[in-house]
Amino acid sequence: MARPLPLNPYAAEPLAVWEARLHGDGRGEERFRAFEAVTHLAPRAEAARHALRLLNDADAELRAAACRWLAGSIRRGELALPFQELSEGLSRCLADADPDVQFEAVRGLAWLAPESPGLAEVVLRLLDQAEGRTTTLALLVELSGGLPQLADRLLERLRQWLADDDAELREAVAMTLARWGVHAASAETELAAALDDEDPLVREHAAVALQQLPRLAPATQAALESAAKDDDPGVAQAAQTALQRHRS
């Protein structure tokens, strides 16, 4: 009779074996697999210690993987290290020579410590480098929503991207403008136009952004009146809320 396979594909070997491989002199692929094993087998705090150690590793792919794992843990609210230690580790990665490491560090810090020194500058640099790579660009724009200090320097680009051909990017822009609140006031015209976007998520986020502006032009209010009758219930509700707030 065949022996049943373990539910965890890494459980066939002890954690100590995987840890030795992770910090040994093996090939990158072997060590990457060891990192996967350690993050599956070790207690979260112990796995976080290994990830933090890898932030200084010579292998850029492992550094990026460690940043990515830490960023995911931060976003899920599963912090397993003291805030200061984690913040300092990711902040050092902002100066990494590898842009993938920088990107993953940005993800973690945008959720953990958005006021981190140098974070805004790295985001702007990565945005410049991401031109033409829409998915990466959209992710960076979405992360910028938690960095209102970027509004003055990024708003002009976001106003243009709100009319981009790519729906993923338009959605990220509308979401970021909604999070920026009053900082997005100069994008009112573009947000009003986005209420007619073919993508309902873009329309909904645009309406949410308009809810938070201090005042609206008559043309914008007219656009919201139309959006309040949108076939998509999320769009209609967001537009109705915007109208109610500006009438009160």
User: What pLDDT score was predicted for residue 9?
Assistant: 81
Averaged over 64-73, what is the pLDDT?
96
Structural Rg of the chain based on CA atoms: 22
Q: What is the pLDDT of residues 87-134, one digit of tens each?
A: 999 999 999 999 999 999 999 999 999 999 999 999 999 999 997 889
User: What pLDDT score was predicted for residue 26?
Assistant: 87
pTM score? 0.86
pLDDT bin (cut points 50, 70, 90) of residue 6 is low
Is residue 2 helix, strand or coil? coil
DSSP 53-94: HHTT-S-HHHHHHHHHHHHHHHHTT---S-HHHHHHHHHHHT
Domains of the chain as residue ranges with CATH: 1-117 (1.25.10.10), 149-248 (1.25.10.10)
Whether 170 and 202 have beta carbons less than 8 Å apart is answered as yes
> What dihedral angle (degrees, nearest 10) is formed by the CA atoms of 66, 130, 124, 196?
-120
Of 1-15, 63-77, 106-120, the range with the lowest mean pLDDT is 1-15
User: What pLDDT score was predicted for residue 80?
Assistant: 78
Higher pLDDT, 8 or 159: 159
Evaluate if residue 85 carries a pLDDT over 80.
Answer: yes
Among residues 139, 140, 138, the alpha carbon closest in space to that of 125 is found at 140
Q: Please enumerate in sequence order all residues whose Cβ is within 8 A of that of 13, keeping only pairs 6 or more positions apart, or say none.
A: 37
Evaluate if residue 81 carries a pLDDT over 90.
Answer: no
Evaluate if residue 136 carries a pLDDT over 80.
Answer: yes
- For the purposes of burial, counting CB atoms within 10 Å of the CB of 5, is it exposed (0-12), middle (13-18) or buried (19 or more)? exposed
Q: How far apart are the first and last CA of the chain?
A: 74
pLDDT bin (cut points 50, 70, 90) of residue 79 is confident
Question: What percentage of the chain exceeds 70 in pLDDT?
Answer: 97
Whether 248 and 224 have beta carbons less than 8 Å apart is answered as no
Whether 39 and 48 have beta carbons less than 8 Å apart is answered as no
pLDDT bin (cut points 50, 70, 90) of residue 1 is very low
